Amino acid sequence: MFVIRPRVVGLDSVYLGWVIRSGIFDAFVSYHYAGSTINHLYQNVFETFCFPCPDLETQKTIAAFLDRETARIDQLTAKKERQAEVLAEKRSSELDSRVFAQGSESITSRKSSHKRMPAIPAHWRATKILRVCDFLSDGTHLPPPRTDEGIPLLSVRNIVNGNFVNLHDDSLISNEAYADLCRSFVVQSGDIVMAIVGATIGKVAIVQKMPPFHIQRSVAVMRPSRSLVSSEFLTYYLRTRFFQSLLWESTSFSAQPGIYLTDLGRFPIILPPLDEQAETVKQMQTIFAPIERAQSMVSASIDRLQEYRYALVTAAVTGKIDVPTWRKCGTTDRRLDAFEADMGASAQPERQEAARA
């Protein structure tokens, strides 16, 4: 962290705070950051940051304007975030209930050998992750030098909304380095990738057909034994609150939180028969479809509000809008009224569908 204390008499701290939250500072950081796995901005570089600095009265006017104008944006964003939390809770409850076959009175249940695992049907068994995988590993601990062209070296950031995807700014390694990494293993379609380093430990995705790539240390790859468990059922199990709580309780903390591969392999897993796994997956896909559509719309609404907030802050600190005129005309209120009406109308069918589910 940097601690910034203005020493210039004519510089307002609140105004400077808004500048640092604007596109001016982001552009500066994007150009100057250094690092590989973790990006850094060094102090001697930060000290060269130049920004527009009008007279003190104008600074205070802009700062007060942004305090007021962003307040309603933040209120609407908080409202959408609460909706996202409700949908996420609904999804988690359904996931836990279906994966552990809870609420089925016709099924005889028993306690598993793991003291905290929910009761499971008597004909299911509990075992360990390692025993249901043909392959379990993590990515390279010694990443090769980055190149301008070559093969993507993917990481935690490539697990996006439950999918494993390429991004436009992925790190690249040479074809020779890629071939060397492939001597250990090659990630295949149908494998499961999980974040095991960083703040998003536990994110999971099934690998679909993709161009050649390899993975960094922050990602573990599991290859389910198809005679025991399907990729889809294992992925759902790994997303349950039961498993996620075990994962975080076993996490070690140093520079970043992380989970050891040996610990991951020892975690318990329930094992229904394959036909029941397939039926459970089918049910969950049907139940989750409307919830996920509603989640997508809420997420898009939050993104839209944040983009508007960001654009407003950047425009204000660069003098691209006339602050007094903007406020008198109620421009922000009109735009947010339009946003809210549009978001409410478009979300109504999804909300009803999610409620029915």
pLDDT tens, residue by residue, 114-157: 667 788 888 898 899 999 999 999 999 888 999 999 999 999 99
At residue 103, the pLDDT reads 58
Least confident of 6-10, 84-88, 101-105, 204-208: 101-105
Question: For the chain, how far is it from start to end, CA to CA, in angstroms?
Answer: 45
pLDDT tens, residue by residue, 82-112: 999 999 999 999 999 999 887 565 556 666 6
At residue 236, the pLDDT reads 96
Class of domain 120-271: alpha beta
- Give the C-alpha separation, 111 to 130, whole Å: 21
- Give the C-alpha separation, 3 to 34, whole Å: 19
At residue 112, the pLDDT reads 62
Question: 3-state secondary structure string, 224-283?
Answer: ECCCCCCHHHHHHHHCCHHHHHHHHHCCEECCCEECCHHHHHHCEEEECCHHHHHHHHHH
Does residue 37 surpass a pLDDT of 70? no
Contacts of 354 (CB under 8 A, 6+ apart): 87, 90, 290, 291, 293, 294
- Note the pTM of the prediction, 2 decimals: 0.77
| Residue boundaries of the structural domains of the chain | 13-87+293-356, 120-271
Where do we find the tokens 């960094």? Answer: 216
